[in-house]
Amino acid sequence: MKIIAIDYQVLTKSELEEEDALLVEAAIEAMSKAYAPYSNFTVGSAVLLANGEVVIGNNQENAAYPSGLCAERVALFSAKSKSPEPIKAIAIVANNAKGESADAFACGNCRQVMLEYASQDVQNTLIKVIMRNHQGQFYVLDDVKSLMPFNFNSTTLGS
């Protein structure tokens, strides 16, 4: 049996690198504008592009639940629609219905989109992932591939 280990750090906000802390602040600002009238679970995300540009997103709910979209994909799709620049990092934060920090661990769909964008980068730049937990700490992973070691990608399709 093989064991898969995930390398990550758990840091307080003050321990984050300055660039990461600024990205988290952008995600918190984005979260304040989330549209979540049904769950009251607000999520904000901020994507840092290689050129230094930050693109934000937040969750957008809909009464027809499958029609909504996660904050991560809103930010990622917006970033890629604006610029061909590689993605350097993504920060994700969430609050529960009481307005308290909640675990902001990207769902499988969002992880798959992050992996897709990571595989598009010909320079093979790693996408750092920063996710806030319910205690206000941050899980920092240097590479999105750590979130899904067995993933579906273009090689799966035979390309």
Residues belonging to the active site:
72
Place of tokens 């984050």: 16
Contacts of residue 154, Cβ cutoff 8 Å, sequence gap at least 6: 119
Q: CA-CA-CA-CA torsion for 109, 133, 141, 51, nearest 10 degrees?
A: 80
Phi, psi of 6 (to 5 degrees): -110, 125
- The encoded tokens of residue 112 equal 């798959």
